[in-house]
Homo-oligomer: A and B are copies of this chain.
């Protein structure tokens, strides 16, 4: 399924050292009442918690990385889940030897520095997440 949107607001900003990366982006998007959009960020974290979805077991396994890492990319989207702005983001992280790691961004990832952009998209019928039986994930429905 694909849907057309018009463009809404553009936000750039930075998070503070010590902020929880996912919760902060979530709080900013819900504070601005963004129903749909896209986000990207770069920066660094003092530690990270990332998920890998086990497609057979249909559940996330989480990994905690207790290391200082660069945020090489954070790519994500915003849509409504249970009526509120929900951020879904994936990150790529880099260590001191340049090796890259990554996964589904989870709470427990602590910001050292982070510069982000949010691009809001507008539409009459909001994009909503609901349980998709085929994958076990909350995905966008055909009707929104």
Contact = CB atoms under 8 A, between A and B. Distances in A.
A108 to B, nearest CB: 14
Interface residues of A, number: 70
Interface string A37-76: 0101110101000101111100001010100101111111
Contact of A53 (B4, B44, B75): B44
B135 A77 contact: no
A53 B75 CA distance: 21
A28 interface: yes
Contacts of A65: 98
A104 interface: yes
Interface string A88-112: 1111101111111111100000001
Interface string A112-123: 110101100100
A131 interface: no
Nearest to A103: B94
A140 B15 CA distance: 10
B17 A117 contact: no
B98 A71 contact: no
A1 B17 contact: no
Given A42-B76, A42-B88, A52-B96, 14 more contacts: A2-B13, A2-B118, A3-B12, A5-B10, A7-B7, A7-B10, A14-B139, A17-B134, A72-B90, A72-B102, A72-B103, A90-B94, A99-B99, A99-B100
